[in-house]
């Protein structure tokens, strides 16, 4: 037992970071009405600023500027923490002013996408400015002398200090929200913006203040924790953020006490897993840490969720309207012919860009069905693709199942997983569902895709997948000495077209109408006899089948599957581009495919402008934010509504 106490106490540092992030997410939500998925990456920057200042530099977060100002010597603790916290405050204010305030009336999904842009931009920024971050070490801040609780339970005291600091911060925030007029106004504004106006406060200023406060809390704790942990953008952006989202969700983004307690508990229990893995032979070696927040979220939701939204429940998860699917010879043949010409007439680089775009279109189509038609969020779509990719490898390489059967079976495996992942959606809606799927996708990726028992030896370049071939005719990408065969592109194109037609058929059919009706109004849908749960699961099934086919295409393209293609960042990117293209229509999915990174648009742009260079990930993230802010309905939707407006004015003139 003493061993477990030791590991639990050792986990207080991680628990404190999770609790602080949970508190920051709660404050942001209460003040600005936003679940900021970019919060971890945002406050991580302050940790890096502090670390950099202690070695004599101040990093500039803007490409084009010099990388950093050199002081030439350690500026000392007080200067470093002051400058780092000032930076944190400025970033908090900036993010609210340029990202979340312009989106205050946009669909919730636009906010999710914008905060994903924030994650991408901030992690890319950290990668660029701290390419050498392995060498970044920070001296101790909190007292470290070991403290002995009982025989055999001796732990460094800094983790306990950190937990105490976080609890004190939480208590201060709680007291301020409870007993000050400003806190009262913020709580009033969270319920109803007019409440704050009545108390004489501007809701916007309150939101700005909350955003700054949240950034300060997270940054302060990250700085204090920086001597205890390995600094890494990814760990802050997801590793601590996802359990923090779970903790905040259990506290309903409202209860500070519950959020902090759950956050601390998750960190401590995760730490005890290290011991459990040694003691229990059956305890999973992979994914247990990531699985815990997922389980916490699922249980909290299952206990609390409602099968149907209550009478008068307000829905902030508004989605853009779904246009009818119009299949005409022009709308089908023109894009297909363009792709054929591109694949056959241009060189291997263009061909590669077109192939990337085609695969991205397939993934976007899967999100059109799920998010566009059914209104269900998923930040785990690439996990579905990955399940199919690994299943394909097992089927084709392991058991020798031939071509058309193996990928279809693999996609059906993904379908089964998709229905499983869809189960929480029967009781969870909107942004909360996005959080659940984010945690679930990470858990699947860690539990399955990194597990050698399931995917084989990773060091040998991932699980192998043979070329697709039918009756002796091989249409793989690489054959013999030819590394880029156009026939593989035509194969991708054919699959994409078939899937697009299936989605168009769905939109035009009775099943599609029922899915749209359930998206539009769950209460009314069940009143006319629609089994809402069933339509949601149908949408999950179709969507994960399509994503599974996409995963098989990725596997065929690279000849192997590895976890890096199917991680959480890939899922977030897929949703973002699908949303930007236009998540409610097939034309939107086509646009999304063109926009996808390393796709046609990117390639054309890099051809035109020379080299975009090492900043492309950062620029991609910023572009995502800009496009989400300027086009909350996606590009295809924007074009459509502009065209409709033009028709309307033309009609008025005619009349």
Partner 1 sequence: MALLDVRELTVSYGGVAANLGIDLQVEPGTVVGLIGPNGAGKTTFVDAVTGFTHATTGRIEFAGTELTGMGPAARARTGLARTFQSVELFDDLTVRDNLAVAAGRPRWYSLLVDLVRPGRGRNDGADRVDRALTRMGLEALAERPGAALSHGQRTLVGMARALAAEPSLVLLDEPAAGLDTSESRQLGTRIRGLAAEGLSILLIDHDMELVMDVCDDVYVLDFGRVIAHGPPAAVRADPQVVAAYLGTGGAAAVGDVAEDAAVEADHG
Please, which residues have CB within 8 angstroms of residue 429's CB and are 6 or more apart in sequence?
309, 315, 317
Regarding 530 and contact with partner 1 (CB under 8 A), the answer is yes
* Part in contact with partner 1 (CB under 8 A); list of ranges 94-102, 117-125, 303-311, 443-451: 303-311
Q: How far is the C-alpha of 655 from the C-alpha of 38, rounded, in Å?
A: 50
Regarding 524 and contact with partner 1 (CB under 8 A), the answer is yes
Among 91, 352, 413, 532, contact with partner 1 (rule: CB under 8 A): 532
Regarding 426 and contact with partner 1 (CB under 8 A), the answer is no
Regarding 510 and contact with partner 1 (CB under 8 A), the answer is yes
Nearer to partner 1, 451 or 521 (CB): 521
Among 180, 230, 469, 509, contact with partner 1 (rule: CB under 8 A): 509
| Contact predicate 39/242, CB 8 Å | no
Please, which residues have CB within 8 angstroms of residue 89's CB and are 6 or more apart in sequence?
212, 215, 216
Handedness of CA 46, 52, 53, 59 (dihedral sign): negative
- Structure tokens given for 22: 């949970």
Regarding 505 and contact with partner 1 (CB under 8 A), the answer is yes
The 8-class DSSP code of residue 423 comes to: G
Please, which residues have CB within 8 angstroms of residue 377's CB and are 6 or more apart in sequence?
109, 112, 317, 371, 430, 431, 433, 434, 437
Regarding 538 and contact with partner 1 (CB under 8 A), the answer is yes
Regarding 542 and contact with partner 1 (CB under 8 A), the answer is yes
- Name the 3-class secondary structure at 313: coil
Considering only the C-alpha atoms of the chain, give the largest distance between any 2 of them, rounded to a whole number of Å: 90
| Contact predicate 15/225, CB 8 Å | no
Least distance CB 123 / partner 1 (angstroms): 36
Regarding 365 and contact with partner 1 (CB under 8 A), the answer is no
Regarding 151 and contact with partner 1 (CB under 8 A), the answer is no
Regarding 586 and contact with partner 1 (CB under 8 A), the answer is no
Please, which residues have CB within 8 angstroms of residue 614's CB and are 6 or more apart in sequence?
128
Among 167, 244, 322, 636, contact with partner 1 (rule: CB under 8 A): 322
* Part in contact with partner 1 (CB under 8 A); list of ranges 274-282, 292-300, 465-473, 527-535: 527-535
Q: How far is the C-alpha of 428 from the C-alpha of 306, rounded, in Å?
A: 7
Regarding 197 and contact with partner 1 (CB under 8 A), the answer is no
Least distance CB 325 / partner 1 (angstroms): 9
Nearer to partner 1, 65 or 302 (CB): 302
Q: How far is the C-alpha of 213 from the C-alpha of 366, rounded, in Å?
A: 38
Residues in binding contact with partner 1, number by CB under 8 A: 33
Among 64, 146, 281, 311, contact with partner 1 (rule: CB under 8 A): 311
Regarding 520 and contact with partner 1 (CB under 8 A), the answer is yes
Between 36 and 75, how does the x/- string for binding to partner 1 read (CB under 8 A)?
A: ----------------------------------------
Q: Which residue has the tokens 């033309």?
A: 650
Least distance CB 307 / partner 1 (angstroms): 8
Among 1, 330, 528, 608, contact with partner 1 (rule: CB under 8 A): 528
Least distance CB 132 / partner 1 (angstroms): 52
Least distance CB 648 / partner 1 (angstroms): 12
Regarding 331 and contact with partner 1 (CB under 8 A), the answer is no
Beta strands 560-561 and 473-474, pairing class: unpaired
- Name the 3-class secondary structure at 155: strand
Among 65, 527, 605, 648, contact with partner 1 (rule: CB under 8 A): 527
Angle, helix 532-558 to helix 486-508, in steps of 10 degrees:
170
The residue among 265, 252, 260, 261 whose CA lies nearest residue 300 is 252
User: How far does CA 643 lie from the centroid of its chain?
Assistant: 32
Q: Interface residues with partner 1 (CB under 8 A)?
A: 307-308, 311-312, 321-322, 502, 505-506, 508-514, 516-517, 519-521, 523-532, 538, 542
């Amino acid at each position: 037992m003493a061993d477990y106490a030791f590991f639990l106490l050792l986990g207080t540092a991680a628990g404190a970071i999770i609790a602080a992030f949970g508190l920051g997410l709660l404050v942001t939500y209460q003040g600005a009405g936003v679940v900021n998925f970019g919060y971890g990456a945002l406050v991580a920057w302050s940790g890096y600023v502090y670390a950099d200042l202690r070695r004599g530099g101040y990093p500039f977060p803007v490409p084009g500027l010099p990388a950093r100002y050199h002081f030439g010597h350690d500026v000392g603790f007080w200067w470093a923490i002051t400058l780092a916290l000032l930076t944190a405050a400025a970033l908090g204010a900036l993010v609210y002013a340029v990202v979340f305030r312009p989106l205050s009336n946009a669909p919730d999904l636009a906010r999710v996408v914008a905060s994903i842009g924030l994650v991408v931009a901030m992690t890319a920024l950290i990668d660029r400015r701290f390419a050498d971050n392995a060498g970044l070490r920070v001296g101790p801040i909190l007292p470290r002398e070991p403290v002995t609780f009982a025989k055999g339970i001796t732990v460094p005291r800094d983790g306990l200090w950190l937990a105490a600091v976080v609890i004190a911060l939480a208590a201060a925030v709680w007291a301020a929200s409870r007993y000050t007029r400003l806190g009262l106004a913020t709580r009033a504004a969270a319920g109803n913006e007019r409440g704050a106006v009545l108390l004489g406060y501007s809701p916007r200023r309150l939101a700005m203040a909350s955003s700054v406060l949240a950034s300060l809390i997270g940054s302060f704790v990250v700085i204090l924790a920086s001597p205890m942990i390995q600094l890494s953008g990814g760990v802050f952006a997801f590793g601590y953020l996802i359990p923090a989202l779970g903790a905040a969700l259990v506290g309903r983004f409202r209860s500070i006490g519950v959020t902090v307690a759950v956050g601390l508990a998750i960190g401590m229990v995760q730490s005890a897993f290290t011991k459990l893995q040694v003691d229990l032979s059956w305890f999973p070696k992979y994914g247990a840490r990531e699985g815990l927040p997922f389980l916490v979220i699922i249980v909290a939701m299952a206990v609390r969720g409602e099968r149907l939204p209550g009478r008068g429940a307000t829905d902030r998860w508004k989605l853009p309207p779904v246009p009818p699917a119009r299949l005409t010879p022009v709308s089908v043949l023109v894009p297909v012919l363009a792709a054929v010409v591109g694949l056959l007439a241009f060189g291997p680089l263009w061909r590669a860009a077109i192939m990337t775009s085609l695969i991205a279109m397939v993934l976007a189509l899967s999100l059109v069905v799920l998010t566009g038609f059914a209104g269900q969020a998923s930040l785990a779509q690439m996990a579905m693709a990955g399940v199919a990719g690994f299943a394909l490898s097992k089927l084709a390489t392991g058991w020798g199942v031939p071509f058309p059967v193996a990928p279809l079976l693999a996609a059906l495996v993904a379908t089964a997983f998709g229905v499983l992942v869809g189960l929480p959606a029967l009781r969870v809606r909107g942004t909360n569902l996005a959080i659940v799927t984010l945690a679930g996708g990470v858990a699947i990726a860690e539990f399955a895709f990194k597990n050698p028992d399931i995917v084989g030896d990773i060091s040998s370049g991932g699980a192998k997948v043979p070329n697709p071939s039918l009756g002796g005719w091989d249409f793989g990408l690489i054959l013999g000495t030819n590394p880029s065969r156009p026939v593989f592109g035509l194969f991708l194109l054919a699959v994409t077209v078939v899937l697009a037609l299936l989605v168009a058929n769905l939109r035009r059919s009775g099943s599609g109408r029922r899915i749209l009706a359930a998206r539009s109004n769950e209460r009314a849908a069940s009143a006319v006899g629609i089994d809402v749960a069933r339509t949601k699961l149908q949408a999950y099934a179709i969507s994960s089948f399509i994503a599974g086919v996409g995963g098989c295409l990725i596997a065929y393209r690279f000849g192997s599957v590895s976890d890096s293609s199917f991680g959480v960042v890939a899922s977030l990117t897929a949703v973002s581009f699908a949303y930007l293209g236009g998540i409610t229509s097939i034309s939107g999915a086509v646009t999304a495919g063109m926009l996808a990174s390393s796709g046609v648009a990117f390639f054309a742009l890099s051809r035109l402008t020379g080299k975009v260079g090492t900043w492309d990930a950062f620029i991609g993230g910023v572009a995502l934010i800009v496009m989400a802010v300027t086009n909350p309905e996606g590009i295809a939707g924007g074009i459509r509504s502009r065209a409709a407006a033009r028709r309307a004015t033309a009609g008025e003139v005619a009349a």
